[in-house]
């Protein structure tokens, strides 16, 4: 596929600025998952933004959904995950107050009555990603987000990872994975995923965009209250000749997938890490004139990458690629309207495998789909 290379130096993407129309924003943005399947069950959960109201809903099997319940007011960009007990957690961003401060808050189930302030910054906090640890003994949650802190350094951007445990939602550990300095450097959209490693460790992955390239680093993190200081070096996974953005990441045992939007107009690319080795990048959308953006990942018996495809200014569809086969791309949502920011999970049910998709529709509405894959 021939794509026009863009000089990375001229790309300075504003924090949280979407590439597409902002008509449909309930499930924005792709680094933080909005849809969750409770492991070993038919229970589905979602969280989304209803014009500044963080809402939560659930379903058994995806045929019908409960009426949404309010988790928080005056916040946006929620993301949802579960720890190893099955307890749901939601992280949400609070826009600037009258003093210019932004906040990140963490909520846990039991009526969503428990709220913890994770981070406060005077200037900007980006949308967060959240992932649960895998131990059945130590129940941890990890959160990754982008921060600028004018009190410490007015030009610095930080990729921050925090760690939290059930019963004490306060930050038990935190670390900074990358720093950039504006206006000549740029960071964006960190995403976190956790792969079970052995009885004593999680393998924690964080991906982000820096200067138009997609990077990933990981560590072996123990079951204690600290975060490992031994992270792998930051190696770019995307093509250095093209601008890349909006990474997402998924992890399963011995398998990690990272997807992103690359080029102008962008295509969706993905790389798979199997048994410790990264494969080559694959062009999944392979579009000629349409713009593909905001990929999302589901891993299980299959590997699914879904994304938003701009057919025209007022017509965006949702597509999905199964097992990296670009000859078998599925059109999930073709509604002759702006369908945006998809999120997907795989649901094994006996001998059947279902793909559940959740996305934004105009006027803060959401769309849902359940598709049998075999």
The model's pLDDT over 29-53, given as tens digits with 9 standing for 90+, comes to: 999 999 999 988 999 999 999 999 9
- Give the integer Cα–Cα distance in Å for 231 and 344: 29
- In which band, very low, low, confident or very high, does the pLDDT at 369 lie, cut at 50, 70 and 90? very high
- Residue 323 contacts residue 302 (beta carbons within 8 Å): yes
Number of domains, the chain: 1
Residue 84, pLDDT score: 82
- Give the integer Cα–Cα distance in Å for 360 and 362: 7
Per cent of the chain over pLDDT 90 is: 58
Q: Read off the pLDDT of each residue in 238-256 and give the average, rounded to a whole number.
A: 94
Please check whether residue 1 lies inside any domain of the structure: no
Q: Which residues contact 95 (CB under 8 A, 6 or more apart)?
A: 74, 75, 76, 102
Residue 291, pLDDT score: 92
CATH label of the domain that carries residue 223: 2.120.10.10
Q: Which is more confidently placed, 196 or 154?
A: 196
State the Cα torsion 349-368-260-304 to the nearest 10°.
Answer: 20
> How many CA within 13 A on the CB side of residue 172?
19
Please check whether residue 238 lies inside any domain of the structure: yes
Residue 168, pLDDT score: 62
- Residue 262 contacts residue 282 (beta carbons within 8 Å): no
Please check whether residue 24 lies inside any domain of the structure: yes
CB atoms closer than 10 angstroms to residue 91: 29
Please check whether residue 237 lies inside any domain of the structure: yes
Per-chain mean pLDDT for the chain? 86
The model's pLDDT over 188-225, given as tens digits with 9 standing for 90+, comes to: 999 999 987 777 788 899 999 999 999 999 998 887 77
Per the structure, the complete domain to which residue 230 belongs is given by: 8-372
Q: In residues, how long is the chain?
A: 374
- Residue 79 contacts residue 47 (beta carbons within 8 Å): yes
Residue 325, pLDDT score: 86
Please check whether residue 2 lies inside any domain of the structure: no
Position 6 pLDDT exceeds 80: no
The model's pLDDT over 15-29, given as tens digits with 9 standing for 90+, comes to: 333 444 446 899 999
The model's pLDDT over 68-81, given as tens digits with 9 standing for 90+, comes to: 999 999 999 999 99
Q: Read off the pLDDT of each residue in 86-101 and give the average, rounded to a whole number.
A: 86
Q: Which is more confidently placed, 119 or 323?
A: 323
> For 149, left (φ over 0), alpha (ψ -120 to 50), or beta?
beta
Please check whether residue 203 lies inside any domain of the structure: yes
Please check whether residue 3 lies inside any domain of the structure: no
């Amino acid at each position: 596929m021939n794509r026009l290379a863009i000089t990375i130096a001229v790309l300075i993407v504003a924090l949280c600025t979407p590439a597409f129309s902002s008509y449909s924003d309930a499930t924005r943005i792709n680094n933080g998952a909005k849809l969750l399947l409770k492991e070993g069950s038919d229970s589905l959960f979602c969280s989304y933004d209803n014009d500044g109201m963080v809402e939560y809903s659930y379903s058994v099997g995806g045929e019908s959904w409960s009426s949404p319940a309010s988790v928080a007011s005056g916040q946006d960009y929620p993301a949802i995950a579960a720890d190893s007990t099955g307890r749901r957690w939601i992280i949400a961003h609070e826009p600037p107050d009258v003093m210019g401060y932004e906040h990140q808050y963490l909520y846990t189930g039991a009526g969503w009555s428990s709220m913890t302030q994770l981070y406060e910054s005077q200037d900007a906090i980006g949308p967060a990603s959240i992932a649960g640890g895998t131990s059945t003994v130590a129940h941890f949650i990890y959160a990754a987000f982008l921060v600028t802190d004018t009190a410490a350094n007015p030009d610095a951007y930080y990729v921050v990872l925090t760690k939290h445990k059930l019963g004490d939602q306060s930050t038990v550990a935190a670390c900074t994975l990358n720093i950039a300095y504006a206006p000549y450097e740029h960071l964006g959209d960190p995403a976190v995923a956790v792969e079970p490693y052995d009885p004593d460790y999680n393998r924690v992955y964080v991906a982000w965009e820096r200067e138009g390239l997609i990077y990933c680093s990981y560590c072996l993190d123990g079951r204690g209250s600290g975060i490992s200081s031994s992270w792998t070096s930051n190696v770019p996974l995307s093509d250095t000749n093209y601008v890349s953005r909006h990474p997402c990441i998924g992890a399963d045992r011995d398998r990690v997938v990272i997807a992103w939007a690359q080029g102008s107009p962008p295509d969706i690319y993905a790389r798979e890490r199997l048994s410790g080795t990264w494969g080559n990048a694959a062009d999944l959308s392979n579009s000629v004139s349409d713009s593909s953006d905001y990929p999302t990942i589901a891993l299980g018996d299959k590997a699914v990458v879904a994304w938003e495809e701009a057919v025209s200014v007022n017509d965006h569809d949702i597509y999905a690629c199964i097992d990296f086969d670009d000859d078998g791309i599925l059109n999930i949502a073709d509604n002759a309207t702006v369908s945006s920011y998809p999120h997907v999970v795989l649901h094994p049910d006996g001998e059947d495998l279902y793909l559940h998709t959740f996305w934004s529709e105009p006027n803060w509405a959401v769309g849902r789909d359940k598709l049998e894959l075999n």
